[in-house]
Amino acid sequence: MTDRRTFLQSAGITGLASLMATHATEANEQSRTSGDLSITDIKITPIALPDPPILAASGCHGPYFLRNVIEITTADGIIGIGETHGGLKNTEQLQACAIQLFNKSAFAYRSFPELFRKAHLSDAQFVPSPAVYAGFELACLDAIGKATGQSLSRLLGGPVRDEVEFAAYLFFRYAADHPQVFADQHLQDDRDRGDRALDQWGEVRTPETMANMAKKWHEKFGFTAMKLKAGVLPPDVELEALQAINEVFDGKAPLRIDPNGRWTVETALRIARELQSMPLEYYEDPVAGQEAMAQVRRETGLPMSTNSCVTRFDHIADAVKNEPVDIVLCDHHGWGGIPACQALGTLADSLGWRLSQHSNNHAGLTMAAMTHLGAVTPQIVHPSDTHYPWLVDGADIIEGPNLRFEGGKMKVPTAPGLGVKLDHDKLALAHEVYQKSGMRERNDAVTMQRFEPGWKRDLF
């Protein structure tokens, strides 16, 4: 009879041999596909995707939002994909920087910023935004993941969670079939009025309609945390809207409000007194600048968050001195990539900060990237922002339907790389709309002035 120790030893040897054989097989398979990740081709595609007339402190969104899609081809035929900020300036910077990357390895993505800097030493005006680097980094990570058979989150240390929670990002807005939408000269698609409007959320410009939309978003997407984009209507009306949302959820939904720095300190302090009795998760950028934020934080004791006054590593020293925030909304475009946000997380641990994620309009590649970032960054403990629900079904550039939220969360993709695929027919259509629309930058103020002549971004 075999004793327990002998059995366990033999089982362990067998298991180890089996594991080694499995890894050897995987290594052999990978060696046929990932031997050379030198970049042989780069394609930058500017696109325009449909956007409803949602409102913020900057004005009103136009009929499209702009993005740039990056595709890198490697010597072994692997194509890595990325997405980043749109607009002509970013497109031109991406194109100028791409020239420096030919024959460089996708594995060497951390060396790219220095390549860009050295290549343009003689041009003091050329300073690529962090979003330019982040777009290339994402495409490289996707290529590396595909070459090694690993998901992006596994490449970056492994997920600490299998699904990432997001918040309902609630905007005041005009109806999708408002006459001024169709008066926009940039409009180049077949959206129309009534049931052919871009979406059916209608006009939301009162506390009652906002609370109703919050309820519907919870029912459709499962979001439990509610973020109100403020800085649009008079502050007391926005406070009433947040109170109405609170009533809809019986005081059980975590709340956040973001006036985008459009309030004075006096207004922020007055509204803060009314927020004390609510389940406020955090008070986001009610005022502009670290010193004003610090004053509101000191005088109210409310948890403060920002995506405005701490958005780069060189802002951190002043933030340590001024103490304006408790939560930083990281953004892999703005901070310079996903590993950069992980580094921010490490600093946040030391500083006693917590993290969430900032969002701007984006497509499915960024949605997947944000989900991976949320999975590999333990310090992201608050539900992340995302504009993705505002992108109507079928309008994304990825294969298949739009990515789905379940219970307010998104499952972390497990396929190699980003875990989503480009639909090149959809991409071509989005590029055609970009070309025909003539939109080359976002200008919310100009759009808003069509809806409200004479509108200015004055402080409340």
Report the catalytic residues.
Answer: 229, 358
Question: Do the beta carbons of residue 165 and residue 383 sit within 8 Å?
Answer: yes
For residue 301, what is the DSSP state? -
Name, in order, each residue with C-beta under 8 angstroms of 180's C-beta and a sequence gap of 6 or more.
53, 174, 450, 451
Distances (CA, A) of 356 to 165, 284, 344, 370: 10, 11, 11, 11
Closest of 256, 259, 236 to residue 245, by C-alpha: 256
Question: Residue 104's CB: how many other CB atoms inside 10 A?
Answer: 18
Q: Please give the Cα distance from 348 to 164 (Å, whole number).
A: 19
Q: Which residues lie closer than 8 Å to 270 by C-beta, 6 or more apart?
A: 235
Q: Could you give the CA distance from residue 237 to residue 203 in angstroms, rounded to a whole number?
A: 16
315, β-bridge pairs = none
Q: What is the spatial distance between Cα 22 and Cα 29, in angstroms, rounded to a whole number?
A: 11
Distance from chain centroid for Cα 338: 11
Instruction: List 50's β-bridge partners, or say none.
Output: 64
Dihedral angle of Cα 193, 199, 203, 208, to the nearest 10 degrees: 140
Closest CA to 76 of 169, 180, 146: 146
Nearest of 238, 301, 291 to residue 267 by alpha carbon:
238
Which residues is 59 bridged to in the sheet?
56
Distance CA(258)–CA(287), nearest Å, equals 9
The DSSP secondary-structure symbol of 77 reads S
Cross-strand partners of 79: 73
Distance CA 353, CA 387 (A): 24
Cross-strand pairs, 330: 357
Task: Produce one character per residue of 61-90: b if its CB has 16 or more CB atoms within 10 Å, e if not.
Answer: bbbbbbbbbbbbbbebebbbbbbbbbbeeb
